[in-house]
């Protein structure tokens, strides 16, 4: 028979490998959850009593027949209620279980013999209903009761009946509790998977907004420059066209990285891009940076803040000067972006984009006061910084214009993991350089 076992094992391995090859993961055979029908076959333990009743070996057969009918009816009702939490904890279920115990004791005392096997069935129904700290006490009490009744009727079989009652109670409770735990774990896993999908969708929408908002603003500004220069300085216009191509290629790369979830921004690169975008828009850029090296995650967060603030300044501020400063210490780092533009619009647009708005981005990304942090861009940045233990403030500057301030904690353990952010970025990746 060893060759049959070998063939069976190889066939099972082949099926498993085929399933893994199709789905990329081992098959999960969850199967249907248990229900009341899984406990009905145990009623066959009462076939001995039914056989004696059917053959006329039981005195007072009417009492025995009514007793068997009552026992089966109560047992079926109890075990089906056991798989619904609300029904299992209902008072009517407890009453049915107590009635089942009374019927079991009555039949066992009157007839004895094979009728004593109703006690293990009573233990099975009890294990399906009782949970928690009362389970052990109930199981012991029920087994003692079964042993006493069995000792009165058949002394030699009292230990077996008591043991069988206790085992059926505890094993049933253990199996059903494990089944419930598995069901809850599966539900929790599905919930975690759903939340992970929502989190990834939110991350992608934020990245896409932040990436395209800045990139398209730069492309629009440089396209306007091309239109102005085309008639009087063709060479300068061609330089701007090369910049547009470079920005577009860089945007494609960043979108691919955002889709895969592996995009990490460089603070030095973002500062160079901001300087180039502001200069192309006719805004005088002033960039200052000081402090120790920063971790990659901290640089990425500050880069997002600078990108969003500069994008809003280019698109909406009408400023002539924009200052960007990054100041760090051993504990915290602060980034400030301020301009001398119009500041808060007198009538802030609604947070919901209008269907007639030609802009591809929600109007809520415009600069605003604290309420404006609820916009798509600033709101997402506020949530990102808060998750990292930082903060973001946006509002009117004391001397006019608009001010965005971001603060983040700096952990010493992060410092050796990154290079100096002041190191110049690769010129080929800058918006102001042709690809």
Residue 318 domain-assigned (yes or no): yes
One domain, residues 265 and 316: yes
Domain with 332, as residue range(s), is: 197-344+362-429
pLDDT at 12: 58
Structure tokens at 40: 């009905």
Q: Is 189 helix (H, G, I), strand (E, B) or coil?
A: helix
Q: What is the mean pLDDT of residues 263-282?
A: 79
Helix, strand, coil percentages in the chain from 3-state DSSP, rounded to 5 = 65, 10, 25
One domain, residues 276 and 392: yes
Question: Torsion-angle region of residue 350: left (phi > 0), alpha (psi -120 to 50) or beta?
Answer: beta
pLDDT at 102: 94
Structure tokens at 100: 């089942």
One domain, residues 228 and 339: yes
Domain end call among 137, 159, 191: 191
On the question of pLDDT at 419 being above 70, the answer is no
Q: What is the mean pLDDT of residues 249-266?
A: 67
One domain, residues 160 and 216: no
CATH number at residue 367: 3.30.565.10
pLDDT at 430: 36
pLDDT at 337: 92
Domain end call among 176, 191, 206: 191
Tell me how many domains the chain contains: 2
Residue 351 domain-assigned (yes or no): no
pLDDT at 16: 56
Place of tokens 């053959």: 55
Nearest to 385 by CA among 415, 407, 412, 364: 407
One domain, residues 213 and 339: yes
One domain, residues 76 and 161: yes
Question: Highest-confidence range of 26-30, 302-306, 362-366, by mean pLDDT?
Answer: 302-306
Please give the backbone phi and psi of residue 51, each rounded to the nearest 5 degrees, phi first: -65, -45
Structure tokens at 273: 């891009």
Please give the backbone phi and psi of residue 133, each rounded to the nearest 5 degrees, phi first: -70, -20
Place of tokens 């990304």: 365
Domain end call among 158, 191, 224: 191
Q: Give the tens place of pLDDT for each residue, 324-352.
A: 999 988 888 999 999 888 755 444 443 33
Among the residue ranges 35-44, 205-214, 245-254, 307-316, the one predicted with the least confidence is: 205-214
Give counts: helices (H), strands (E), the chain.
12, 5
Q: Is 347 helix (H, G, I), strand (E, B) or coil?
A: coil
């Amino acid at each position: 028979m060893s060759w049959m076992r070998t063939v069976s094992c190889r066939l099972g391995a082949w099926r498993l490998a085929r399933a893994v090859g199709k789905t990329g993961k081992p098959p999960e055979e969850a199967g249907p959850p248990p229900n009341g029908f899984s406990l009905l076959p145990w009623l066959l333990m009462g076939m001995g009593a039914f056989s004696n009743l059917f053959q006329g070996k039981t005195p007072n057969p009417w009492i025995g027949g009514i007793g068997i009918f009552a026992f089966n009816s109560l047992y079926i009702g109890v075990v089906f209620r056991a798989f619904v939490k609300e029904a299992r904890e209902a008072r009517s279920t407890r009453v049915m279980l107590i009635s089942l115990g009374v019927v079991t004791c009555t039949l066992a005392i009157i007839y004895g013999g094979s009728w004593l096997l109703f006690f293990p069935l009573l233990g099975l129904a009890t294990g399906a209903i009782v949970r928690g700290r009362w389970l052990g006490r109930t199981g012991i009490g029920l087994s003692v009761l079964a042993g006493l009744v069995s000792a009165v009727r058949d002394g030699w079989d009292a230990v077996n009946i008591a043991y069988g009652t206790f085992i059926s109670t505890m094993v049933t409770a253990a199996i059903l509790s494990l089944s419930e735990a598995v069901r809850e774990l599966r539900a929790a896993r599905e919930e975690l998977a759903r939340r992970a999908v929502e989190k990834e969708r939110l991350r992608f929408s934020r990245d896409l907004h932040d990436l395209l908002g800045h990139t398209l603003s730069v492309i629009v500004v440089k396209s306007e420059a091309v239109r102005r220069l085309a008639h009087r300085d063709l060479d300068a216009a061609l330089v701007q066209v090369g910049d547009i191509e470079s920005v577009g290629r860089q945007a494609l790369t960043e979108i691919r990285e955002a889709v895969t979830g592996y995009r990490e921004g460089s603070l030095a690169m973002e500062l160079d891009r901001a300087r180039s975008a502001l200069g192309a828009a006719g805004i005088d850029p002033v960039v200052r940076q000081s402090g120790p090296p920063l971790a990659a995650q901290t640089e990425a967060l500050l880069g997002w803040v600078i990108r969003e603030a500069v994008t809003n300044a280019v698109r909406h501020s009408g400023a002539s000067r924009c200052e960007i400063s990054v100041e760090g210490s051993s504990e915290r780092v602060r980034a400030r972006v301020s301009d001398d533009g119009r500041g808060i619009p007198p009538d802030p647009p609604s947070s919901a984009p209008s269907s007639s708005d030609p802009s591809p981005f929600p109007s809520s990304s415009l600069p605003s006061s604290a309420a404006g942090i609820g916009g798509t861009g600033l709101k997402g940045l506020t949530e990102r910084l808060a998750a990292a233990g930082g903060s973001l403030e946006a509002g009117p500057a004391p001397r006019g214009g608009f001010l965005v301030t971001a603060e983040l904690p700096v952990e010493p353990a992060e410092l050796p993991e990154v290079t100096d952010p002041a190191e110049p970025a690769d010129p080929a990746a800058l918006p102001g350089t042709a690809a």
